[in-house]
């Protein structure tokens, strides 16, 4: 922390700030300039810097350490690689965070057995290795379809096994975790639950990867701190997922913040994937944004695909037709090598 004193601050005021900093365990270095005095405070515990701002004679207080630890690159300089081992169900397993770009695809909501089986077959044929599908749906309105629950997870698992795929699905509450572990390979935390700390703490106890979506108004720093809640519990297999943030622009559902991809790569060793389906909200915008996400360096993509989007129970408008998905996969496959990545 750095405390910048006002030009007109007197010695007594400076002394009081130094005393308080020392009391809180800081090592204080004083720089007396011609115009003003600056106090550098190193070490010490986590304090609310605003409490120093309110002291007399203080002009400004600047935090100099980022509050995250486990998720930060200075804690672990090399990239986190998450390995889902191969087994009889998923074929060859999966490695997340290396050269391969992980492609997750499937319907927004699981609607029935046939729907999931149909879509799983199609997205697997086009190259997707992870099947997505919502069984518990956090809907803004209580009057919208809320998901099939465990029944939906059963269909997902069956469809994934039939196609040697992995399953990812959203968990909405800590009470759902034990049951979900029987069905899914990756647990997803939705944007609205990014700061549901009770849920995050419980996911720290789990030994499966967790994909943490960015909250609609979460700064990158808050997002990493939420990852930190999972990691402090002992689960270091966290995948971040950018899905669009809320801005003043209202022609689009969200503003997809692709710049978050290289920013996260600088700050953290965790892999980051992009969801252009929620990030754009419209099928015709998903394709260019999926390409752009790959070009920006994303470690994976999550895409909604539906064979009959006109009758989808949720988000049909942002679901790709299977043929569009196949074409897109071809484009991604050709673009990836330019930046040293690969799409299978």
Site for a copy of itself in 135-174 (CB under 8 A): 138-144, 172-174
Using rule CB under 8 A, residue 56 touches a copy of itself: no
- Cβ closest to a copy of itself, residue 70 vs residue 156: 70
Which two tokens mark 18? 């130094």
Site for a copy of itself in 169-188 (CB under 8 A): 172-175
Please answer whether residues 185 and 95 qualify as being in contact, where contact means their C-beta atoms are separated by less than 8 angstroms. Answer: no
- Cβ closest to a copy of itself, residue 255 vs residue 326: 255
> Which of 106, 133, 309, 322 is in the footprint of a copy of itself by CB under 8 A?
309
What minimum distance in Å lies between the beta carbon of 103 and a copy of itself? Answer: 16
The span from the CA of 339 to the CA of 99, in Å, is 10
Residue ranges of alpha helices (H) inside 43-149 are 50-53, 113-126
Please answer whether residues 167 and 131 qualify as being in contact, where contact means their C-beta atoms are separated by less than 8 angstroms. Answer: yes
> Which of 25, 43, 93, 178 is in the footprint of a copy of itself by CB under 8 A?
43
> Applying CB under 8 A, which part among 1-9, 10-18, 121-129, 160-168 lies near a copy of itself?
1-9
Q: Would you say how long the chain is, in residues?
A: 344
- Cβ closest to a copy of itself, residue 47 vs residue 162: 47
Which two tokens mark 324? 């569009």
The span from the CA of 178 to the CA of 181, in Å, is 5
Using rule CB under 8 A, residue 11 touches a copy of itself: no
Q: How many residues bind a copy of itself (CB under 8 A)?
A: 111
List, in order, residues 6 or more apart from 136 with CB less than 8 Å away. 146, 147, 149, 169, 170, 171, 172, 176
Using rule CB under 8 A, residue 291 touches a copy of itself: yes
> Which of 18, 162, 181, 317 is in the footprint of a copy of itself by CB under 8 A?
317
> Applying CB under 8 A, which part among 114-122, 155-163, 180-188, 331-339 lies near a copy of itself?
331-339
- Cβ closest to a copy of itself, residue 90 vs residue 280: 280
Grouping H, G, I as helix, E, B as strand and the rest as coil, residue 106 is strand
Instruction: List beta partners, residue 273.
Output: 241, 300
Query: Binding mask 64-93 vs a copy of itself (x if CB under 8 A, - otherwise)?
Result: xxxxxx----x-------------------
> Which of 12, 54, 78, 85 is in the footprint of a copy of itself by CB under 8 A?
54
> Applying CB under 8 A, which part among 11-19, 61-69, 86-94, 120-128 lies near a copy of itself?
61-69
Using rule CB under 8 A, residue 315 touches a copy of itself: yes
Pairing verdict, β 2-5 and 58-62? antiparallel
Please answer whether residues 214 and 242 qualify as being in contact, where contact means their C-beta atoms are separated by less than 8 angstroms. Answer: yes
Site for a copy of itself in 256-275 (CB under 8 A): 256-263, 266-267
What minimum distance in Å lies between the beta carbon of 78 and a copy of itself? Answer: 13
Site for a copy of itself in 188-227 (CB under 8 A): 192-193, 195-199, 201, 215-217, 219-222, 225
- Cβ closest to a copy of itself, residue 84 vs residue 336: 336
Pairing verdict, β 130-132 and 210-213? unpaired
What minimum distance in Å lies between the beta carbon of 89 and a copy of itself? Answer: 29
Grouping H, G, I as helix, E, B as strand and the rest as coil, residue 68 is coil
Which two tokens mark 325? 């998905």
Cα 148 to Cα 115, 118, 163, distances in angstroms: 13, 17, 22
Please answer whether residues 39 and 88 qualify as being in contact, where contact means their C-beta atoms are separated by less than 8 angstroms. Answer: no
Phi, psi angles (nearest 5°) of residue 251: -75, -25
């Amino acid at each position: 922390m750095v405390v910048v004193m006002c030009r007109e601050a007197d010695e007594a005021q400076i002394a009081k700030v130094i005393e308080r900093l020392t009391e809180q365990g800081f090592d204080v270095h004083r720089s007396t300039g011609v115009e003003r005095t600056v106090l550098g405070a190193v070490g010490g515990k986590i304090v609310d810097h605003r409490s120093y701002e309110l002291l007399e004679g203080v002009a400004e207080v600047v935090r100099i350490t980022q509050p995250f630890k486990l998720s930060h690159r200075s804690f672990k300089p090399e990239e986190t690689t998450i390995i889902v081992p191969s087994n009889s169900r998923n074929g060859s397993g999966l490695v997340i965070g290396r050269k391969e770009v992980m492609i997750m695809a499937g319907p927004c909501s699981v609607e029935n057995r046939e729907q999931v089986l149909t879509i799983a077959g199609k997205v697997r044929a086009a190259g997707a290795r992870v099947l997505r599908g919502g069984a518990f749906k956090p809907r803004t309105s209580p009057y919208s379809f809320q998901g099939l629950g465990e029944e939906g997870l059963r269909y997902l698992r069956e469809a994934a096994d039939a196609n040697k795929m992995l399953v990812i699905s959203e968990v909405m509450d800590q009470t759902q975790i034990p049951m979900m572990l029987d069905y899914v390979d990756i647990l997803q935390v939705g944007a609205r639950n990014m700061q549901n700390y009770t849920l995050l703490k419980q996911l720290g106890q789990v030994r499966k990867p967790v994909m943490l979506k960015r909250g609609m108004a979460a700064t990158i720093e808050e997002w990493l701190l939420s990852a930190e809640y999972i990691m402090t519990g002992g689960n270091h297999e966290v995948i971040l997922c950018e899905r669009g943030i809320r801005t003043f622009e209202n022609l689009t559902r969200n503003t997809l913040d692709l710049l978050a991809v290289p920013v996260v790569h600088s700050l953290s060793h965790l892999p980051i994937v992009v969801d252009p389906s929620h990030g754009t909200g419209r099928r015709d915008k998903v394709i260019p944004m999926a390409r752009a996400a790959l070009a920006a360096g994303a470690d994976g993509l999550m895409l909604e695909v539906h064979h009959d989007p006109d009758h989808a129970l949720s988000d049909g408008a942002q679901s790709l037709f299977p043929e569009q998905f196949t074409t897109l996969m071809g484009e991604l496959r050709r673009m990836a090598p330019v930046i040293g990545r690969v799409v299978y």
